[in-house]
Amino acid sequence: MKEFYITDDGIRLHAKLEMPDGKDKYPLVIIVHGFTGNMEEPHITETARIAVEAGYAALRVEMYGHGQSDGRFRDHTLYKWISNMLAVVEYARNLDFVTDLFLCGHSQGGLLVMLIAGMCPNKFRAVIPLSPAWMIPEIARKGEILGTAIDPVNIPDEFVQNGENVLSGNYIRVAQTLHVEDEIERYKGPVLIVHGDEDEAVPYEYGVKAAELYSNAKLVTIKGDTHCFDNHLDEMTAAVQEFLLDFVN
Work out how close the CB of 190 gets to ligand FER at its nearest, in angstroms, rounded to a whole number: 23
Site string for ligand FER, 136-155 (x = CB under 6 A): x--x-----xx---------
Give the per-residue contact string, 71-110, with ligand FER (x = CB under 6 A; - = no).
------------------------------------xx--
Residue 59 or 202: the one with the smaller Cβ distance to ligand FER is 202
Query: E-assigned strands of 50-107?
Result: 57-61, 98-106
Residue 35 or residue 243: which is nearer to ligand FER going by CB? 35
To ligand FER, the closest distance from the beta carbon of 27 in angstroms equals 26
Pick one of 13, 15, 16, 34: the residue that binds ligand FER (CB under 6 A). 34
- 104-123 residues in contact with ligand FER (CB under 6 A) are 107-108
How many angstroms separate the CA atoms of 79 and 189, rounded?
A: 23
In angstroms, the CA 115 to CA 105 distance is 11
For ligand FER, which residue has the nearest CB? 34
Written as one string, the DSSP assignment of 110-157 is: HHHHHHHHHHSTTT-SEEEEES--TTHHHHHHHTEETTEE--SSS--S
Nearer to ligand FER, 125 or 173 (CB): 173
Beta strands in the chain (DSSP E): 2-8, 11-18, 26-32, 57-61, 98-106, 126-130, 144-145, 148-149, 158-161, 165-168, 191-196, 217-222
Select from 86, 87, 201, 208 the one that contacts ligand FER (CB under 6 A). 201
Pairwise CA distance, residues 247 & 137, whole Å = 32
Please report, as ranges, the residues that interact with ligand FER according to CB under 6 A: 34-35, 107-108, 133, 136, 139, 145-146, 201-202
